[in-house]
Structure 1
Amino acid sequence: MARIFITGSSDGIGHNLAKFLISQGHAVTLHARSAERAKETLSKTPGASNILVADLSSISQTKQLAAEANKLGVFDAVVHNAGVGYGQGFKKTEDGIAQLFAVNALAPYILTCLMERPKRLVYVSSGLHRGGDVRMVDVGWKEKRWDGFQAYGDSKLMDVVLALAVARHWPEVSSNAVSPGWVKTKMGGSSAPDSLKKADDMLSWLATGDQKDIGSGKYYAAQGGREGAHPRAKDEGIQEEFLKICEQLSGVKFPK
Structure 2
Amino acid sequence: MALILVTGASSGLGRHTADALADQGHDVVVHVRNRARLPGAEDSARWKGVLTGDLADLDQIRETARQADGFGRFDSVVHNAGTMRTPEAGTVNTVAPYLLTALMGKPARLIYLSSSMHRSGSTDLRRLTAGTATYEDSKLWVTALAFALASRWEGTSSHAVDPGWVPTRMGGPGAPDDLAAGYETQAWLATHPDVTPSTGGYWYHRRTQAPHPVCRDEDFQARLLQALHRHTGVPLT
TM superposition score category, shorter chain reference: over 0.9
Could you tell me which residue of structure 2 aligns to residue 217 of structure 1?
200
Aligned ranges 1:172-187 → 2 under 5 Å: 172-187=155-170
Q: Distance in 1 between matches of 2:44 and 2:211?
A: 33
Identify the match of residue 169 of structure 1 among 152, 156, 165. Answer: 152
Residue 252 in structure 1 maps to residue 234 in structure 2:
yes
Q: Tell me if structure 1 keeps the 8 A contact 2:189–2:195.
A: no
Q: 1:194 to 1:43 in 2, by over 3 A?
A: farther
Could you tell me which residue of structure 1 aligns to residue 25 of structure 2?
25
Two-structure CA RMSD over aligned residues (Å): 1.8
Per-residue CA distance 1:154-194 (angstroms, 9 max, x = gap): 10011110000011110210000010000011100000010
Q: Distance in 2 between matches of 1:104 and 1:32?
A: 14
Q: Tell me if structure 1 keeps the 8 A contact 2:5–2:74.
A: yes
Could you tell me which residue of structure 2 aligns to residue 13 of structure 1?
13
Could you tell me which residue of structure 2 aligns to residue 75 of structure 1?
74
Q: Distance in 1 between matches of 2:141 and 2:22?
A: 30
Give 2:151's aligned amino acid: R
Q: Tell me if structure 1 keeps the 8 A contact 2:35–2:41.
A: no
Residue 189 in structure 1 maps to residue 189 in structure 2:
no
Residue 206 in structure 1 maps to residue 189 in structure 2:
yes
Aligned-residue identity in percent: 38
Q: Number of residue pairs matched?
A: 237
Q: Tell me if structure 1 keeps the 8 A contact 2:163–2:182.
A: yes
Stretches of structure 2 lacking an aligned partner (at least 5 in a row): none
Residue 52 (structure 1) shift: 0.5
Instruction: State which drifts further: 210-219 or 8-17.
Output: 210-219
Stretches of structure 1 lacking an aligned partner (at least 5 in a row): 91-97, 145-149
Residue 44 (structure 1) shift: 7.8
Q: Distance in 1 between matches of 2:118 and 2:43?
A: 32
Give 1:51's aligned amino acid: V
User: Normalising to structure 1: TM-score of the pair?
Assistant: 0.87
Give 2:103's aligned amino acid: L
Instruction: State which drifts further: 195-204 or 226-235.
Output: 226-235
Identify the match of residue 128 of structure 2 among 133, 139, 155. Answer: 139
Q: Distance in 2 between matches of 1:162 and 1:183?
A: 24
Q: Distance in 2 between matches of 1:174 and 1:41?
A: 31
